[in-house]
Amino acid sequence: MNVMRFWPDNRRHFTSLSEREILSLAIAAEEEDGRIYGEYATRLGETYPGSAALFEGMAAEEDEHRRRLLDLYVERFGTRLVPIRREHVRGFLTRKPVWLQKTLTLEQARQQVWEMEEGAYRFYLAAAGQVTDAGIRKLLGDLAVAEKGHAKRADQIDDQVLGQEGRESEGHEQHRQFLLTYVQPGLAGLMDGSVSTLAPVFAAAFATGDTHQTFLVGLAAAVGAGISMGFTEAASDDGKLTGRGSPIKRGLAAGIMTAVGGLGHALPYLIADFVTATAVAIAVVLIELWAIAYIQNRYMQTPFWRAVMQVVLGGSLVFAAGILIGNA
């Protein structure tokens, strides 16, 4: 299928490359990949020292590939390399420079590594089928096999550097970061939204006896609390010194969960019958409080019954205060 272009594509087609150009391209690619792995090791070293060592090993391996390619190139073509890179050749996908992102996660790095190794394997496979020199073809074929087996060797490096204990420690580190960035702000928001809006919602319900008015009060309280909690969390710190992660992510987690907690017992008042709406709202409140206790136990290692006593007791007091004020 012909594609209409508004500007000419001056990149070379891969099949038009000479053996000298293919070797030059491979040398540049291995050098770039080694630098990327080195950058991953630097960026992730403080938080994930085990995986950083893994990336250091991969960077060293890429450097060894580059050396073997360069030795063969000098033997065949001399010391002057062709200034050719991936972006000069049609068919190579443009990589997203995740290593330049302000926040780099281990998952992003691992995904990028897989893409890089898969691309390198396919490149060497195609290159080996294109060259005619037996020595060059042998090296390119060997490197294709090496890149294909890179994941297996990475596991071996992982075993040597991390071991089972180190791998578990790294998992705990990821779990800790997840708790700091999402669970803790979200839990605080859910508690604030569920508990703090109990009094105004039920006060409005028993003061007016009007489900529509009660719903509007609950909606306003939930949305207002969500916005306030979100901005407060985001402004509390930028995460650089505390390691709590992006303030935007934390603010969104806190704000959304605050609004969810408040809306939970406001939505039943969309039911027209006051008694039915109030009964459903009370049931929802109980579910919310037990959910908070479960999350505290599941992620914060708070003993379940202690969490129940703290949350349910506090929520019950606020609930009672709302009813008393509404009936005053």
At 202-248, the pLDDT tens digits run 888 888 889 999 999 989 989 998 999 998 888 876 665 455 778 88
**pLDDT tier for residue 3 given thresholds of 50, 70 and 90:** very low
| CA terminus-to-terminus distance, the chain | 77
pLDDT (tens digit per residue) in 33-74: 999 999 988 988 887 888 888 889 889 999 999 999 999 999
Residue 10 has which token pair?
């001056």
Q: What is the pLDDT of residue 298?
A: 72
Q: Is the dihedral of CA 193, 199, 203, 206 positive or negative?
A: positive
Interhelix angle 274-299/198-208, rounded to 10 degrees, is 170
Residue 182 has which token pair?
């999402």
Backbone angles phi, psi at 12, to 5 degrees: -80, 145
Helix (H/G/I), strand (E/B), else coil: 89: strand
